[in-house]
Structure 1
Amino acid sequence: MYELNLKLKTHQYPIFIGNSILQKSNILRSVCINKSAIVLVTNHTISTLWKQYIIDAFKVLSIQFYEFVIPDGEEYKNIETIEKCITFLLKKNCNRDIILIAFGGGVIGDITGFVASIYQRGVSYIQIPTTLLAQVDASIGGKTGVNHTLGKNMLGVFWHPDAVIIDTNFLNTLSRKQLVSGMAEVVKYGIIFDELFFNWLEKKYYELLNLKKEDILYCIKKCCEFKVNVVIKDERESYLRTILNLGHTFGHAIESYIGYGKYLHGEAISIGIVMAARTAEILNIINTVDVQRIIYLLKKIGLPTIAPKNMNPDEYIPYMIKDKKSINNGKIRLILPKKIGHVEIYSDIENKIILRAISNAS
């Protein structure tokens, strides 16, 4: 088992990474001490597969246990679900001493964190991510939020968990499609931070997709280290943390236009990464060889690299302008790779360049 620590000025918490680590009751005791009740927030799919595993893990604590289950899918990541969850807590007479457990993927993590941040002015929560995407990225850093019809993650706050418990055992029942989707965020880290890690992914992608224990643990630990180091330096995404959004401004436009849930998040981000690389290529800030390596790795993993056929290039711009990560003095802000292992922030790119890059990814 690995243990990382995210230490901020006002908050710090452990990140545990391992296989079947929920069976280690000392971990749960350390994060659930003095709590009046545990409220598990999950979806129907995860509850069906893993509810008894969770109950067995938490029963050693002898604390009141509730479960709030929502439908599975990005389309349920909205303010209506938040209200239903809060109503559930009130009907159960939950006070500020409860602890919420985000048990699922990024959607569950965002919903649970948002509820925890606003219920009775803030309660504790733990992240137990069950998807690769959530384990390597979404569960760490305190971002919470829900979608609006006009834009992704437009409602939310920064609210850090008391702990993140990453148990790779949950990946064994993850669908191939979801596993592949999560790999988009893994590749993203290699492009942003570390060419050696990218090289390793080129060699090890098959082992990762087949959940070889040593490789998947190393991969998750490495990605978590990247994320922790950035969040420590820039907790609220004032500048540096923005680089983690490589491909996201394009990807969020796809998700918003096509409809939440039609593309998995990682699938949309994969296409967005290609569009960002094509933009950099047009601007001559990255060589074509690196662009082709990026596209080839995404393809080998099984991720989409071509823009949706039913979305025209000019239909991206309104959503990109609205994207909360992209605006900088009224301009679209993009994260572009200069080479594999290094990216920079750009906010002066003409729309015609962006449209050309989108067309080149079609």
Structure 2
Amino acid sequence: MDRPAGLAATQEVFPRIALPDRIDPQAVRSCVAGLPVTRLSGPTMGTTWHLHAVLPDGLTAEHIGGVIAARLEALVAQMSHWEPASDLCRFNRARAGLWQALPHDFARVMQAALTIAEASDGAFSPAVGRLVDLWGFGPPGPVAQAPDDKQIAQAQTPSDWRLLAFEPATGRLRQPGGLSLDLSGIAKGYAADALAGDLARLGVVHLLVEVGGELVGRGLRPDGQPWWVDLEAPPGAGLPGLRVALHGLAVATSGSYVRGPHNLDPRLGRPARSGVVACSVLHDSAMIADGWASAFSVLDVEAGMALATGRDLAVRWITRDGESWCEAISPALARMLAD
């Protein structure tokens, strides 16, 4: 089985299977056995992207590679907190009270980020840039020692996402003063969605695209199988495998196993203490899956399960208590598991 980088290795024991609740009839009709799968990859956003795709006649790998590179370059120019000239960094430097018109992609991500921030009561926040820098995970680089309570409190005061005013109709965002955006918990998912959408408009029906571990699968492989991916799990956890048919689905994974100490709890201003080692979310949109995976890796499993159940989100959590590993699965994901 071909597997993009960032996916867990195939389990030796036959894993459980998660299937989508609907099949794309166009994809089934257009699936042709024996066609080649084009594989492309490259660097972006401090990580990598990978593409597996069946290209229609007249569409070359070189052209596709150029489209992907241009799109990712544009997204970095809009939303990177590492590029001083990006639109995001320009917002972070803006004076208090300034309204900044965001480019289309940036505005879409910001609207989704604020929606998830509100729904998760701040477990996910786009306004953690100052805290990320304070802990040594941002562009200024590592710090010699962990910040103290006073430094954390000072950084948290201007870092409340509720201070942001956003106008969806105009795409304008207001800088309240000293607030620093960081969209690393949702932007890679949006990038995967954007690439899948761009390729679909070029006539690519069958593809699996990954950006930094966030994946979108559409259509089928030439052998008629869906794009199978194995959800990540820490080595040695001993949990049964969980393989997902990414057919019209996206998946994103977060947690301390994936992001390490970078996994900050915006509500505490400190690394998350939820006990969640890894959390995967399945959704139609990789951006939404990415944002919710970030939130659920901060919330404890009980609180996360209540949210996921109420919103019918397909989620898997992995936690560790000493030497014991545990798995929790939301009702929406349980319904997807094949008998």
| TM-score, scaled to structure 1 | 0.26
- Which of structures 1 and 2 has the larger relative contact order (alpha carbons within 8 angstroms, sep 6+)? 2
Answer 1 or 2: which has greater strand percent: 2
Answer 1 or 2: which has greater helix percent: 1
